[in-house]
Chains A and B, each alone.
Chain A
Amino acid sequence: MSMNSKGRQTSPDALAVSGHKTVSGNRGLAQAEKLIFEIGTPRRTGVDFPALKGAKSRLGGRLGGMERTEEIGLPGLSEPETMRHYVRLSQKNYAIDLGVYPLGSCTMKHNPRINEKMARLPGFADVHPLQPRGTVQGALELIDELADWICKLTGMPAVAMSPKAGAHGELCGMMAIRAALDARFAKEGGADNKRRVLVPESAHGTNPATAVQCGFTIDSIPATDDGRVDMDALKAKLGDDVAGIMLTNPNTCGLFERDIIEIADLIHGVGGYFYCDGANFNALVGRVRPGDLGIDAMHLNLHKTFSTPHGGGGPGSGPTVLSAALAAYAPVPYVVREQGKYKLIEDAHGTDSFGRMTAFHGQMGMFVRALSYMLSHGADGLKQATEDAVLNANYVQASLSEDMSPAFGGICMHEALFNDDFLKGTGVETLDFAKAMIDEGYHPMTMYFPLVVHGAMLIEPTESESKAELDRFIDVMKGLAKRAKSASDNKDGADFFKAAPIYAPLRRLDETRAARKPVLRWREDPSA
């Protein structure tokens, strides 16, 4: 033990005792926090209301005998209690603002706060979706300006702005395709049999789920050994019943589909349409326009590519670009600029539009943030961001290629994919490796996706990481890989991984139990 001149202890001499329990259950800054139902009461409130002057309560008189008689059962907290409850809970979350969040396919990039400020301007945030059009010209202008940027960046003639998230955008694109096929059949006749949609095995699960909602059937296309669409298999599956293809590019292995133009030609050759899943458009912005690749529809994830916050799972926003062949089938509403005025077309009657996908006009709050991001970057910055994202991913892949096992090697796009070969014989699995990363202070990469790679680990650093931050991350990954490999020489070696995480707010959670006997809400008496 070392002392300073006053005899005060200056270095810790307490051992980290495993299983050490505090009196409170708290651990310093990590505080246990009960549910609001356990700490609040129905009578407590954190909101004061102005007194109603001279009014008598008429509750009941005009409620048609439907007035509430039973208690709802909603606990309240005062304002300071509320603040503490949610701040304590927030501290149990990892976040981009805390550290590297290398979730492949999810694009956890920096969320600029100017976006938040702009989204809260009253002219965007405090505007009702059904205000007379003349009073919302600024809001419509924002949608129009963002649509213009999106069309230019993608090289596509039209964009449907209303889809609320990526999967909703997929639905938009596939519905436009179905509507176009139906219109063609109505006009030209022939066999009404175009129902088969080709989907690569590596696709996001949303792709097949979406296609089915549009009345299509799914036909899987295998991948080649280098992680791309197997062109021979694709050609073998072509036929006049093919409605189209849903293809992610760059694909979920982080690779650019080199044959994409030929794929587009083949699909168009059998009268089908090309849906491109735009989840990975952040690898292309400013370097490649999807419109030059022959696609017919593609959604954008504004929360991935254009930095709107993920917010713990949403809200997303999925504007969907459409080719000239599909544009007429776009959903309502849409904005039209005429003689300096913005009009809003809300009624699908008498048009080819396949209908309405959501009440109102889409995720306005996300539109403002995305445009704020685009304006900040500009043509030059957006291109640079794409290049840096791709460079960062390749730097991680190259730096880890000896200690871990790249799934395909070669150049990748915005994300680096590893398999679990380097863990063979160690007793450590991808899940264990991921949980050990948590103890090292990192959010794990995407794991076990894409399905085509065994024990997949998909790392997407994004352009937001500095070289110094990446070097620290790479050192940790190398250290964990070495430790895993040495685990096979040591009978307890894998325990380091199997026990992880130790330093998170909770240890590993029992997901099987959660699914087997679902407890989806609090109840005063859990046996009830």
Chain B
Amino acid sequence: MRFLPLNNNDRAAMLDVVGVNSVDELFVDVPKSARLDELIDVPMHKSEAEVDAHLTAMAARSRAAGAGPFFIGAGAYRHHIPATVDHLIQRSEFLTAYTPYQPEISQGTLQVLFEFQTQVAQLTGMDVANASMYDGSTACAEAVLMACRVKRRGKVHLAAGLHPHYREVTKTQCKFQEIEVRPCPSRPGHDEDVLIGMDKESAAIVVQSPNVFGEIIDLEPYAEAAHAVGALLIAVFTEPVAFGAIKSPGEMGADIVVGEGQSIGVGLNFGGPYVGLLACKQKLVRQMPGRVCGETVDANGERGYVLTLSTREQHIRREKATSNICTNSGLCTVAFSIHMTLLGEAGLRKLAMINHEKACTLADKLVAIDGVELVTENFFNEFTLRLSNPKGGGKPAKDVVGDMVAQGVLGGLHASRLMDGQDDLLIVCATETNSDADMDAFVSALEGALS
């Protein structure tokens, strides 16, 4: 077996040193009733070529996003990732290292984390960021727990434009912790409803911008309303490229900013692994969950980096920890940081401008179709359409999407995949990866589906 260096001579010699006659004697502590004599009923070992063939055939049974016109966003975005990123993250020293618990021989990972934390803090307009969370949705849930710790209050309010998966994950996370989660039903144009019912027991309000429908929200009034009752504003995002074009949540008064970093450096991957970003104001740092990297010096006085503030964490604090989290999104943070370094400020702004331009162009083309109405007034690279059949007998957006698939176009996401009662809404995203021909194909597919 190609992954196993020992041969039978080695094994015999080693068993001898251990002082046993057979490998079975190494499993002597296993209760007899639980010892397996037979091999488990799964296939026997395969050559690399066989594994390659098996999985390549399986992969071909999915339609890759890049195989044709593609316009789905809603929490995960298709962007071009420079080849340099994937090359660098496959270097053995990044790929096959463990968590940097021995800082003297982990400065590579640690310096990247320090740079990553600074990039995320800058991008979100906050003071500090942690070394990442599993994804945007779990970062959102952790931010809610964090706000409740900071405020010693037990009520949080979720806006109507929060991604429904983020809402559900937050509800699950709070379910057994005596935290009252008050979600507003998902629908466009109703973010302000989150302010209803806020009072001195509220720890935070959670508002997403651009929201799940693509609408850009001015967060300042939300920050003011939250602060007026002594609560925090948790700002959520799913598309970090947006901050190349619009103000950061920090500039608008958010106290904690969380979101999905997948757009930068990490591919679609059918939903994971992704990279959750969490940033906050300096005064909240000791209630932050997850790993954090900090600067220090070595015995010679040279600058270096270590994991720090571990007294918040489970391996020290056990049941009193700020979170049970024991990992970050390691290699995805490296990918994010490399891609962001390649972009730089100028590149990110250009990328954002192109994304917005593409979305505006596409929106103009689509609303020209009979029965298509633009629901989102202000948007970045994603917007929502209301579809109605001009000839009556309305067709749900779900079926429209299905019809477009038959024409080879993945033309957005029907909102009913994520929420109830919005059967006529289609959430559409355009990025720099979409060509004019893609857009024309989309227009013609949608026309066909609606006619």
Contact = CB atoms under 8 A, between A and B. Distances in A.
A16 interface: no
Contacts of B330: 310-315
Given A62-B379, A381-B4, A521 B129 contact: yes
Interface in B180-214: none
Interface string B351-384: 1011011001100000000000000011110000
A321 interface: no
Interface stretch (A102-110, A268-276, A477-485): A102-110
B42 A116 contact: no
A323 B74 CA distance: 34
Contact of A64 (B78, B96, B131, B377): B377
A205 B314 contact: yes
Contacts of A231: none
B43 A378 contact: yes
A463 B67 CA distance: 40
A394 B17 CA distance: 9
For the complex of A and B, the 9 pairs showing the least CB-CB separation, nearest first, are A76-B344, A360-B271, A123-B59, A64-B378, A311-B331, A138-B61, A129-B271, A378-B45, A314-B330
Nearest to B136: A359
A66 B340 contact: no
A37 B75 CA distance: 29
B296 A514 contact: yes
A513 B115 CA distance: 19
Interface stretch (A183-191, A384-392, A419-427, A489-497): A384-392
Contacts, number: 708
Task: Indicate the member of B44, B88, B271 with the most A CB atoms within 10 Å.
Answer: B271
A464 B294 contact: no
Contact of A123 (B5, B58, B165): B58
Interface string A497-528: 00001001111111101110011111000000
A153 interface: yes
B96 A514 contact: no
B151 to A, nearest CB: 18
Interface in B209-253: 216, 218, 243-248, 251
Interface string B263-307: 000011111110100000000010000011111111110101110
B88 A83 contact: yes
A131 B63 contact: yes
Contacts of B21: none
Nearest to A387: B23
Given A132-B401, A215-B176, A153 B40 contact: yes
B405 A205 contact: no
A337 interface: no
Given A129-B76, A379-B39, A449-B315, 17 more contacts: A66-B246, A76-B343, A124-B55, A128-B268, A129-B271, A131-B410, A138-B58, A167-B325, A310-B96, A361-B272, A365-B272, A377-B45, A385-B3, A385-B4, A391-B14, A413-B26, A464-B4
Interface in B1-42: 1-6, 10-11, 13-15, 17-20, 23, 25-31, 33-36, 39-42
Contacts of B119: 74
B163 A135 contact: no
A66 B218 contact: yes
Interface in B150-168: 163, 165-166, 168
Interface string A428-452: 0000001100100001100001000
B48 A376 contact: yes
B140 to A, nearest CB: 9
B56 to A, nearest CB: 6
23 contacts: A59-B357, A69-B247, A72-B123, A75-B345, A95-B95, A97-B92, A123-B62, A124-B59, A125-B268, A126-B65, A128-B72, A131-B410, A138-B59, A141-B61, A209-B319, A213-B176, A312-B100, A358-B272, A359-B137, A376-B3, A377-B3, A379-B40, A467-B10
B145 to A, nearest CB: 8
A57 B358 CA distance: 10
B112 A86 contact: yes
B365 to A, nearest CB: 12
A26 interface: no
